[in-house]
A and B are shown apart, each in its own frame.
Chain A
Amino acid sequence: MITLGLQEKNTLLAEVNQRSGANVLECYQCGKCVSTCPVSQYMDFPPREIIQLVKLGQRNEVYMANSTWFCLTCSACSGRCPRQIEIPAVMEAIRHLAIEENYVNDSTKVKEIRKFHEIFLDMIKRYGRNYELRMMAEFNIRTRNLFKDMHLAPKALLKGKIPLGVKPMKSAKAIRRMYQLAEKLEKKHQ
């Protein structure tokens, strides 16, 4: 539910602006971003509405929306924005804030998108590089969708489109250390 408390200070607006380096107050709601966005039809609130909700300080609506997870960061919107607002940076700032404040959108789609990113980061932590075949297999296992894309497998594997192995880094240890230090930095930040 959207609540308007005019006496309250809009802390969300300040946080999103500070994180993204954008000024969402510049937005005059023309909607060019919505018509440009290739995935706005999948979003609970298209970019224009997300920005308006930030202006109104609607933390819960903004954090729980699937919009920030569907944003492809293709920057088509910001390229056409007459107010030059870096909308993908705004989307990203909101996503990071929501993760840090433990807001979880538990729709199947968002859960799958998030799982994919977690598996990807896990691969890098283990090998220092992405291991495509293993990533696809783990995604299927961890989303309990074992046969997804299996029809592509015979052709893709036979033709060598997706190789069976990976050349791991020599110093994958450096990446594990980076992960630990990054986690510490982010904890301090909060």
Chain B
Amino acid sequence: MKKVTYFPGCSAHGTSEEFDMTVKMVMKSLDVQMEEIPDWNCCGATSAHSLSETLAYALPLRNLVLAEKLDNATMAIPCASCYQRLKVTKVHMDDNPELARKINSTVIDEGTYKGKVAVKSMLQYCYEDIGLEAIKSKVTKSLAGMKLACYYGCLLTRPKNITHFDSPEYPMSMDHIVEALGAKATEFDYKTECCGASFSISDTEVVINLSSQILEMARESGAHAIVVACPLCQSNLDMRQPDIEKHTGKKINLPIFYFTQLMALAFGMSQKDMMFNKHIVPVEGALANIGKIEPEPEKVKKPRKAVEAESEVE
């Protein structure tokens, strides 16, 4: 049995309850024991690093310090924003012991930061630590027939010198996971474009504009649905979709799944536990494609490889 430290993040108790729920179901089935950080706090998200450099480090640091008490080598974080804040803090603290001491003084009651826990996103943990073979071995109900656009957003793979995971331009880890589940990942060029993130509330116009382009490109790629690994991407693309349809005058009707919801589905778990009823865009139409395999003419297709940022630069 594998053991991993779990940092759910605030949205796990709010808008992304279904992500939290399905992560727990899937990990149990994959024989991974998750230990939640006791009395964790908010990572500060975009707001802390927008206004205060000290709080931007102090809020995540408290969680990093508490995580070290659990004695697991790795921490897995479902929310992309939490992941990014904790990872940035870890990298900067490890690089600069003096800064670490200074920030640590604001949470000294919790303990001293040693930097011994690796920080990974849930997607990265599934891809690197669990692996495609283990995922494939649990599939009892293949998703064959479903075409999915995998959307990573900005924070899971960028900046590259912080995340050290997948490609910042054309990542493939989630594509490989959904293909391990039997579905087909479409060629989707907007997979790392930003959805507008925290402007969801403070400047909705930006989110409508950016998210509408992502949704349209996913539709054009031939996908029946979009798969995400970030609560804010999910809520921007799902909850704002009716507004986007009104704004552009085009029907989109693309449900937005968390990749763990689809894992649970392919593992043959009960649909009731996946909380599809929470989705604003109904999922039934997309799920009806499972099992419907259209006879595709055999064509030779070049495998598409992840593009490395450096090779583009030079």
Chain A interface residues toward B at CB < 8 A: 38-39, 42, 69-70, 72-76, 78-80, 82, 84, 86, 88, 92, 95-96, 99, 109, 112-118, 120-121, 123-124, 128-130, 132-133, 135-136, 139, 148-149, 152, 155-156, 159-163, 166-167, 169-171, 174-175, 177-179, 181-182, 185-186
Contacts and interface: CB of A to CB of B under 8 A. Distances in A.
The 8 closest A-B pairs by CB, nearest first: A74-B154, A116-B202, A120-B47, A117-B47, A74-B194, A75-B158, A181-B106, A130-B10
B239 A156 contact: yes
Nearest to A68: B50
Contact of A182 (B47, B106, B158): B106
Contacts of A175: 41, 59, 62
Interface string B42-70: 10111111111111001100100000000
Interface stretch (B12-20, B128-136, B261-269): B12-20
Interface stretch (B23-31, B180-188, B203-211): B203-211
Give the secondary structure class of B's interface.
helix
A156 B192 CA distance: 27
Contacts of B39: 169-171
B14 A162 contact: yes
B180 to A, nearest CB: 27
Contacts of A72: 154, 194, 196-199
Contact of B54 (A152, A177, A182): A182
Given A72-B196, A132-B11, A112 B202 contact: yes
Contacts of B204: 148-149
Interface residues of B, number: 61
B144 interface: no
B160 A79 contact: yes
B58 A156 contact: no
A74 B196 CA distance: 9
Contacts of A160: 17, 277-278
A115 B168 CA distance: 31
Interface in B148-198: 154-155, 158-160, 168-169, 192-194, 196-198
Contact of A109 (B47, B58, B110, B203): B203
B312 A80 contact: yes
Given A135-B201, A178-B107, A95 B50 contact: yes
Nearest to B197: A72
Given A116-B202, A159-B278, A182-B58, A79 B15 contact: no
A70 to B, nearest CB: 8
A136 B15 CA distance: 13
23 contacts: A38-B193, A73-B154, A76-B154, A76-B193, A79-B168, A80-B309, A92-B49, A92-B50, A96-B53, A117-B50, A121-B44, A124-B59, A130-B14, A152-B239, A156-B280, A161-B15, A161-B239, A163-B14, A166-B14, A167-B13, A169-B40, A182-B55, A185-B105
B46 A124 contact: no
Interface in B208-256: 210, 235, 239, 243
A116 B279 CA distance: 25
Nearest to B54: A182
B1 interface: no
Contacts of B199: 72, 113
Contact of B203 (A113, A133, A182): A113
A75 B10 CA distance: 24
B45 A120 contact: yes
A179 to B, nearest CB: 7
B284 interface: no
Contacts of B55: 121, 178-179, 182
Given A75-B158, A113-B199, A129-B13, 10 more contacts: A73-B49, A74-B154, A96-B53, A121-B48, A124-B44, A129-B42, A130-B14, A132-B15, A159-B279, A178-B59
B103 to A, nearest CB: 8
Contacts of B192: 76
Contacts of A133: 14
